[in-house]
Structure 1
Amino acid sequence: MGAQASSQPRSDHGEVISIQSLEDWNTRLQNSKTSNKLMVIDFWAEWCEPCKAIDPTIQELADRFSDVDFIKIDVDKLPNVAKTYEVKAMPTFVLLKKGKERDRIVGVKKDELQRMIEKYGS
């Protein structure tokens, strides 16, 4: 009895979700409005070297903060979403809670990003 507790699926731990369509983004945004989970959106571009440099850190943070949704949006594939959030440089990290922007970080600022996740994550 109670043996199920030890066999939790790990599928949602450490996952960084890459958004490929406006429909997918809209669904995730709507879901975030009714959830108390923090959503960290990583606005990036394929050609952006700083974006590639911080990628391992994003994965590490996703592994550490499994109660936070980590989303990647390629600004070249979904320019309207980037425009909505007034993204002007990459990488830009936008932190949303209940669908509202709580904070943002522009550039490769690993420690600051971690502090913001800790601040808004719970």
Structure 2
Amino acid sequence: MAEEGQVIACRDRRTWLHQMSEGPESNKLIVVGFTASGCEPCKFMAPVLDELAKKFTNVIFMMVDVDELKLVAEDCGVDSTPTFIFMKEGGIVDTFVGAANKEELQKLTETHATVVVAVA
């Protein structure tokens, strides 16, 4: 696991599975940015995700390249980049697609980081 304030780069399925097993146990929000190496909007959003990781140290931030982990992207329903999914207790609670509104990405992070999920 990365130190607080850092984005975890998931370059292989093992890292992804490890983070997916650790996240729910910690009850933390997980924000996963799905990118592609040739995607200019993705390059624009990478520093935004870094800034959010420093600001929201109670959130786990991860970056997944869809070309490296195609099956993970497919499993998460990602069909364009950049896509950001918000996960809590093992499930997807929200999705944000695109790079046009970095303020919305921050707002969603803030909202879901503070939402308490009821356990049935």
| TM-score normalised by length of structure 1 | 0.88
Cα distance in 1, alignment partners of residues 72 and 14 from structure 2: 11
Quick check: 1:25 aligned with 2:16? yes
Q: State the SS of the aligned residue for 1:34.
A: helix
Q: What does residue range 33-112 of structure 1 map to in structure 2 within 5 Å?
A: 33-108=24-99, 109-112=101-104
CA distance in 2 between partners of 1:85 and 1:117 (Å):
18
| CA RMSD of superposed structures (Å) | 1.1
Aligned residue for 1:14?
5
Tell me which of 104, 107, 112 is aligned to 1:115. 107
Task: Give unpaired runs (5+ residues) of structure 1.
Answer: 1-10
* Contact kept? 1:48, 1:90, Cα under 8 Å: yes
TM-score (norm 2): 0.89
- How many residues align? The count is 112
State the alpha-carbon separation in 2 of the partners of residues 47 and 61 from structure 1. Answer: 23
Paired with 1:32 and 1:115, the residues of 2 have a C-alpha distance of: 21
Larger Rg: 1
Give the share of equivalent positions with the same residue, in percent.
38
**Secondary structure at the residue paired with 2:27?**
coil
Q: Distance in 1 between matches of 2:12 and 2:45?
A: 23
